[in-house]
Structure 1
Amino acid sequence: MENQSKTGVLLVNLGTPDEATPKAIKRFLSQFLHDKRVVDMTRWVWCPLLHGVILPIRAPKVAKLYQGVWMSEGSPLMVFSRRQASKLKQSLNVPVELGMTYGNPSLLSGMQSLLEQGVEKVIVLPLYPQYSATTTAAVVDGLGKAFKQMTVVPSFEVIGDYHDHPLYIKALADSVRESWRERGESEYLLCSYHGIPKRFADNGDVYPQHCEKTTELLAQELGLGSDRMGMTYQSRFGREEWLQPYTDKTLEQLPKQGIKKLDILAPAFSVDCLETLEELSEECCELYKEAGGESFNYIPCLNDGDKHIELMASLVNARLLNGE
């Protein structure tokens, strides 16, 4: 493809604090929680609450949690995202840069870096398999803000989701099978997705339908019935109702139903991060065992595994071919 060198890829994830310190956490959470896609409360109500109560209380607590999962190279989300970008660049032989919706590297810096490499068209790949206005649409909003600061705006297209892509389902299934080979098969596989307020879904967000489809296809690939596999939503925040069933409540009930050996997977997360390494792997494990569970096995995210990179390359190559 002659003009392939003029096409580049921007990998996008949510973002992460620069350091595991209260100051850095406060800076990151402030940007994240100011986004109306994430919290749509009236600003004059939300902003004083955020800066006067939530951030001063949460930042030190979250900093301690980050310190528990921080890697020598930095935040897990950033470490794995960099590895993904590097491997995808080698696979595709086109420029690939990272951009985060919140924090660094920004969407603006990622776009500018691609332009400096002679890129004229950008394929934007948000690493959210299931579409949600809180994540994928927030990327598009962020791109719009970035373009306002750029003199030359490249043509671009956004890969909206890949929740039912065969290579995504196969990569998930292979990660489960690998865990089974290493640790043995459990009695039940639980897919825990990041939650969103139920009100968002009621207003038309297709996220829950995408999560359900991913779970359904994964169950088919693994040959598991509803008695061996289920799905829940984690990480709810605030007092309003979020998508159900809740992960924590389910983990409290499963041992009472005779399920004492559990595998848990986080299909909505493309890389391991605080929500998987601390909330799922540690907090949820403790919760499950306190409720009577005996064996709890967290299956890592796809991260920079070969099957995951193959999926990303396939998603991008489909756009490269269509654009030629």
Structure 2
Amino acid sequence: MKGVLLVNLGSPASTDPKDVKSYLGEFLMDERVIDLPYLLRTILVKGIILNTRPKQSAKAYSKIWWDEGSPLIVLSEKLQDKVNQETSVPISLAMRYGEPSMKNGLQELYDQGVTEVLLVPLYPQFAMATTETIIVLAEQLRDEFFPKIDFTVVPPFYNHPDYVTVLSRSIIEELEKIDYDHLLFSYHGVPERHIRKSDITNSHCKIDGSCCQTPSKAHQFCYRHQCYETTRLVGEKLKLKEGTFSTSFQSRLGFDPWLKPYTDRTVEKMAQEGIEKIAVVTPAFVSDCLETLEEIAMEADEIFKENGGTEFTFIPCINDREDWVKTLSRWIDEWALSK
């Protein structure tokens, strides 16, 4: 019997600093998120970050928390419910960090007799800290608890025509309501070393401005390439004029070089250079979350206006849009009906 496990990032159980600390501890101790040797990672996370960041993050979460709970969890549950109504196989939901856990999600499917699982990481682009860590944990859980389960993994869909169509529609629907000078595609950042570590050729990724446009097998696992490709494809789909849209990266942490240009500095610079009206979309995320609702819709808005900008429009993620539900459901049914 076949079934599906949708997997998103996760969220603290509440805005209480204790819950935020627990969540951040699990998240940041993942060796694919902070890829330092265990001892150094432990010193950094448990000795420094978890003693300073939870209260700050708790305040940020409290700004975007809904009555029903975490926006990311609520939106993911809505997506699950809608897809479940459209498809012919059981659909379970899990978070890589926090609850509902991936173990519980797999157990839910296994209890229904499922032995073939379509694993759906809800990330359009591949990254060590997203898709890869989900696959690794799923395999660990199978080996330990579910040896009879076989996995099929949905590959990154950053360039899938169906996804590009849904994302493009979500953008144009907002742009048609406003006047804007520039559309910024803001993706979650990663350390530059993650790009090099994911380079299966061990030589292609130089982050030099040209390697992402030069064909290579490395692009299969190159987050940077896949982000720029998403931007390019949407730009073509919407027939956006050159110079009216661009790509940046948000949410950097620590002092190591992360992917550039940085979103906060890009927004600041645009305002200072006289761009008065911008719209920002966040295509690294399927569901709105802290990084979109607080970091972009609030913080970036404030930075832009403090530096002379006048109108800032945040474009929501695709969340549980009907066209996204239909698309995801069709992908699932095509897999379910295959041999």
TM-score range, shorter chain: over 0.9
Counterpart Cα distance in 2 of 1:185 and 1:89:
38
- What SS is found at the alignment partner of 1:173? helix
Residue of structure 2 equivalent to 1:65: 60
Deviations 1:1-39 (A, max 9, x none): xxxxx2111000111111111111111111111111111
Match of 1:104 among 99, 105, 109: 99
Matched, 1:222 2:238: yes
1:167 to 153, 162, 165: 162
Q: Distance in 1 between matches of 2:108 and 2:235?
A: 41
Counterparts of 1:185 and 1:315 in 2: how far apart (Å)? 35
C-alpha separation between the residues in 2 aligned to 1:151 and 1:32?
Answer: 24
Give 1:158-197 correspondences, 5 Å limit: 158-181=153-176, 183-197=177-191
Contiguous gaps of at least 5 residues in structure 1:
1-5
The amino acid of 2:26's aligned partner reads Q
Provide TM-score, normalisation by structure 2: 0.91
Question: Per the alignment, in what secondary structure is the counterpart of residue 149 of structure 1?
Answer: helix
1:140 maps to 2:156: no
Structure 2 runs not aligned, ≥5 long: 200-220
Aligned pairs for 1:1-324 within 5 A: 6-181=1-176, 183-203=177-197, 204=199, 205-321=221-337, 323-324=338-339
Q: Secondary structure at 1:101's aligned position in 2?
A: strand
Aligned-residue Cα RMSD (Å) equals 1.3
Counterpart residue identity of residue 228, structure 2 = E
Q: Distance in 1 between matches of 2:146 and 2:156?
A: 29
Kindly state the Cα deviation for residue 312 of structure 1 after the two structures are TM-superposed.
1.1
Separation in 1 of the partners of 2:336 and 2:305?
A: 48
8 Å contact kept, 2:89–2:336: no
- Name the SS of the counterpart of 1:119 in structure 2: coil
Letter in 2 for 1:197: P
Superposed CA deviations along residues 48-76 of structure 1, whole A, max 9, x for unmatched, are 22112211210011111111111111100
CA distance in structure 2 between the aligned counterparts of 1:193 and 1:120, rounded to whole angstroms: 35
Q: How many aligned residue pairs are there?
A: 317
Contact kept, 8 Å, 2:88 with 2:333, in 1: the verdict is no
Could you list the structure 1 runs, at least 4 aligned residues long, displaced by more than 3 angstroms after superposition.
none
Partners of 2:128 and 2:10 lie apart in 1 by 16
The amino acid of 1:315's aligned partner reads: W
Asked whether the 8 Å contact 2:274–2:308 carries over to 1, the reply is no
Displacement of 1:148 in angstroms is: 3.5
Contact persistence 2:250–2:264 (CA under 8 A): yes
CA distance in structure 2 between the aligned counterparts of 1:157 and 1:185, rounded to whole angstroms: 44
User: Which one-letter code corresponds to 2:191 in the other structure?
Assistant: P
- Provide the C-alpha distance between the structure 1 equivalents of 2:26 and 2:2, rounded to a whole number of angstroms: 30
* Aligned CA distance change for structure 1 residues 179 and 191 (closer, same or farther; 3 Å): same
